[in-house]
Amino acid sequence: MKNISNFAILSLKVFDLSKSHGNFNIKIKEGEILDNNSKDIIWVDFDSLENFMVDVFRGIGVPEEDARICADVLITADKRGIDSHGIGRLKPIYYDRIKAGIQSPKTDIEIVKDGPTTAVIDGHNGMGQVIAKKSMTLAIEKAKKMGLGMVAVRNSTHYGIAGYYVLMAIKEGMIGITGTNARPSIAPTFGVENMLGTNPLTFGMPSDEEFSFVLDCATSITQRGKIEVYDREEKEIPPGWVIGQDGKTRTDTHQILQDLKTGKAALAPLGGIGEETAGYKGYGYAAVVEILSTALQNGKYLKMLSGVEDGKLVPINLGHFFIAINISSFIDLKSFKKISGDILRSLRSSKKAPGAERIYTAGEKEYLAWLERKDKGAPINKNLQQQIVTLKKELNLTKYKFPFEK
């Protein structure tokens, strides 16, 4: 239990999840899953946070329907324990960029090319969540008719957690796949320059359990948000996460955060620095995502996505891709769910390493986070509390009164 990241401390309680995890008992204690500093955390219910986010988006010019989509994507991250992509992203990634004029609050979606199973969409620098939801919806519609659907997107923006969109496919009895490029941060194997984004490659597959298989992770070992956690705790990061200009690993957390901005440091790909621990695999997967997020739709890539030109902030025109696979075109859905569920249960019940309490499968920790959070809401730390208060004042959202306000 101690190795689960991004979750927050809750009051002690025991869940017995034996029914939902096959024929073996799994008991977890609330309060052991954590990354947050409990003394700084105030819990806020999801409905209040979601409504607040809708009003913030509306307050900076996002239309009502689109604002609700954006808020839903962010609150879904908080519900699933992915605090790095929830309300904590509201101000720095969306509000501030719209105010800076480098992202449009109004989304003009253009279908550039459309076929029976494929489409190309231009998002014209609008809201990434709106563009992405429209794109996966279109891929699903095509898959319902033809068995498969794929949509490639250009000129989009940050679309939140990739898992949101594969969950859309799962709800329709399909397999979902998505990926997106991002600002340069990963160095190629044997390189030291940040060239590729953290480029998540995300898969979602239904099962007969309460939670589906959802693998949603970056192609780098870590990301900036995790390094920021170490900085707040005044700890050095583990060796192997970041590479310096001399080709060696760096652990000086605070300076690394500064040097990632200037290109003097770069993140290592999955597998690590060099070939000894197969860093070329993460590098290769990051390149796959970059190509599929760019070449199919004639989009921007690598250093074009730095967000800075001649010392000035400019739009970060990201690319995405979305794939929906209709399971019923291959096998009946019930059979697929049982087979995938049997595989996952077998993995979790396999022999554990000495000292290990349990084995997880992708999507399980997010499900456990939801069980812990559904009645409590999201953990809001001091920094985020200040951001929320700032947004309230700037947009005059006086109808909200949060428990951390004095």
- Among 288, 305, 330, residue at a domain's last position: 330
pLDDT reported for residue 38? 60
Note whether 121 and 89 are same-domain residues.
no
Gap between the Cα atoms of 326 and 190, Å rounded: 40
Note whether 150 and 178 are same-domain residues.
yes
Gap between the Cα atoms of 306 and 304, Å rounded: 6
**Using one digit for the tens of pLDDT, what is the confidence trace for 279-313?**
999 999 999 999 999 999 999 999 999 999 998 99
Amino acid at 102: I
Give the CATH number of the domain where residue 255 resides: 3.30.60
Does residue 115 fall inside a structural domain?
A: yes
**Using one digit for the tens of pLDDT, what is the confidence trace for 75-129?**
999 999 999 899 999 999 999 999 999 999 999 999 999 999 999 999 999 999 9
Note whether 146 and 233 are same-domain residues.
no
pLDDT reported for residue 232? 73
Does residue 45 fall inside a structural domain?
A: yes
Note whether 97 and 117 are same-domain residues.
no
Note whether 126 and 203 are same-domain residues.
yes
pLDDT reported for residue 100? 97
Gap between the Cα atoms of 380 and 233, Å rounded: 17
Does residue 195 fall inside a structural domain?
A: yes
Give the CATH number of the domain where residue 119 resides: 3.30.1370.60
Burial-class residue 256 by CB neighbours within 10 Å (0-12, 13-18, 19+). Answer: buried
Does residue 178 fall inside a structural domain?
A: yes
Gap between the Cα atoms of 367 and 377, Å rounded: 14
Say if residue 229's pLDDT is above 50: yes
Note whether 141 and 233 are same-domain residues.
no
Note whether 202 and 122 are same-domain residues.
yes
Domain with 34, as residue range(s), is 14-101+363-395
**Using one digit for the tens of pLDDT, what is the confidence trace for 367-385?**
999 999 999 999 998 989 9
**Using one digit for the tens of pLDDT, what is the confidence trace for 260-276?**
988 999 999 999 999 99
Give the CATH number of the domain where residue 30 resides: 1.10.1530.10
Note whether 210 and 244 are same-domain residues.
no
User: How does the average pLDDT of the chain come out, rounded?
Assistant: 91
Mean pLDDT calculated for residue range 174-181: 98
Domain count, the chain: 3
**Using one digit for the tens of pLDDT, what is the confidence trace for 45-74?**
999 999 999 999 999 999 999 999 999 999
pLDDT reported for residue 223? 86
pLDDT reported for residue 33? 38
Does residue 2 fall inside a structural domain?
A: no
Note whether 146 and 80 are same-domain residues.
no
Note whether 140 and 186 are same-domain residues.
yes
- 355 contact partners, CB below 8 Å, separation of at least 6: none
Note whether 140 and 189 are same-domain residues.
yes
**Using one digit for the tens of pLDDT, what is the confidence trace for 9-56?**
232 233 334 334 443 333 333 333 334 546 689 999 999 999 999 999
Does residue 390 fall inside a structural domain?
A: yes
pLDDT reported for residue 40? 84
Helix H, strand E, coil C: the string for the chain is CCCCCCCCCCCCCEEECCHHHCCCCCEEECCCCCCCCHHHCEEECHHHHHHHHHHHHHHCCCCHHHHHHHHHHHHHHHHCCCHHHCHHHHHHHHHHHHHCCCCCCCCCCEEEEECCCEEEEECCCCCHHHHHHHHHHHHHHHHHHHCEEEEEEEEECCCCCCHHHHHHHHHCCEEEEEEECCCCCECCCCCCCCCECCCCEEEEECCCCCCCEEECCCCECCCHHHHHHHHHCCCCCCCCCEEECCCCEECCHHHHHHHHHHCCEEECECCCCCCCCCHHHHHHHHHHHHHHCCCCCCCCCHHHHCCEECCEECCCCEEEEEEEEEHHHCCCHHHHHHHHHHHHHHHHCCCCCCCCCCCCCCCHHHHHHHHHHCCCCEEECHHHHHHHHHHHHHHCCCCCCCCCCC
266 phi, psi to nearest 5 deg: -145, 155
Does residue 289 fall inside a structural domain?
A: yes
Beta partners for 175? 325
Does residue 338 fall inside a structural domain?
A: no
Say if residue 242's pLDDT is above 90: yes
Note whether 198 and 294 are same-domain residues.
yes
Each residue of 164-195: b (16+ CB within 10 Å) or e?
bbbbbbbebbbbbbbbbbbbbbbbbbeebebb
